[in-house]
Chain A
Amino acid sequence: MKIEFLFWRGCPSHPEARELLADVLAAHGIEAEVDEHEVTTQEEAERLAFPGSPTIRVDGQDVDPAGASARPALTCRIYHLPDGRVSPVPTREQLEEALT
């Protein structure tokens, strides 16, 4: 399993998301390496189709496909919760669905 964790340091959302990802991996006994990559320029964001920080892909698939096609940018990414609220990080359920 290939897990990519892309982030932009200008947004404060990635530490919480990285912690949540580690927690979900541990809870499900998944021993996969996480390839962390810091996106630093708009050009890189466009090359990587990076829709905002953080972006997590499992075997190339975004954990939130609905938000994956947003305009590539050095920005905080918006995740929409099932109840209609907005969050700067994906839900545990989204990660579990992508990883298990």
Chain B
Amino acid sequence: MTLTLGMEAPEFDLPGVDGQNHSLDSYADAKALVLVQSCNHCPWVQAWEGRLNSIAGDYADRGVQVVAVSSNDVESHPEDSFDEMKARSSAQGFTFDYLYDEPQALAHALGAERTPEVFVFDDERRLVYHGAIDDNRDDTAVQQHYLRDALDAVLSDQEPPVRDTPAVGCSVKWK
């Protein structure tokens, strides 16, 4: 099933690199929840990683929770194993939760196809923005800050100015 704008966030309960399990209910207090289909190995993810980390930090005290999820098959891509996820999170100083979706159930429920691919849910956990973090993998050439604009809108009880953009990146590595 592919999630479309207005639909509710899917339930999940997944282990995080912090050693804790995190479910949809874990984030019940967040004014906005950002789920990001992600992984370790993809250069497109790595190109946006710093910006995602900045956004997670910048919006944390405004009630926004950013959660990255890797669902990739670790047999074909061992760089995406749970141990490697823990190592990368530590090395890069991730300010967001990083969860391992080994069964790939959350990726399927979201209808995710790419890494990175962003899903923003409002305080009622309805999907209000889907797609790219911004409009250029090169951070020096960004013109449109889709995710930041969507979060600013949600926090002001407004509709994001752009609600759906193509996610550009590696394919999710299905089993």
Contact = CB atoms under 8 A, between A and B. Distances in A.
B169 A87 contact: no
A86 B46 CA distance: 6
Contacts, number: 40
Q: Is the interface of B mostly helix, strand, loop or mixed?
A: loop
Nearest to B78: A71
A78 B40 CA distance: 11
A11 B39 CA distance: 14
Which 5 A-B residue pairings sit nearest by Cβ, starting from the closest?
A88-B43, A86-B46, A78-B43, A76-B170, A10-B171
Interface in B143-174: 168-171
Interface string A13-48: 100000000000000000000000000001000000
Given A73-B76, A75-B41, A85 B47 contact: yes
A40 B43 CA distance: 20
A77 interface: yes
A76 B44 contact: yes
B47 A11 contact: no
B171 A88 contact: no
B137 interface: yes
B110 interface: no
27 contacts: A10-B170, A10-B171, A11-B171, A12-B44, A12-B169, A13-B43, A13-B44, A42-B76, A73-B76, A73-B77, A75-B41, A75-B77, A75-B170, A76-B41, A76-B44, A76-B170, A77-B43, A78-B41, A79-B43, A85-B139, A86-B43, A86-B47, A87-B47, A87-B137, A88-B43, A88-B47, A88-B137
Nearest to B44: A88
Interface in B128-144: 137-139
A76 B43 contact: yes
A13 B76 CA distance: 19
Contacts of B139: 85
Contacts of A77: 43
Given A75-B41, A78-B46, A88-B43, A11 B170 contact: yes
A11 B171 CA distance: 7
Given A10-B171, A76-B41, A87-B43, 12 more contacts: A12-B169, A12-B170, A13-B43, A42-B76, A73-B77, A74-B76, A78-B41, A78-B46, A85-B139, A86-B46, A86-B47, A88-B137
A12 B168 CA distance: 8
Interface string A57-77: 000000000000000011111
A85 B47 CA distance: 7
A76 B114 CA distance: 12
Interface in B9-55: 41-44, 46-47
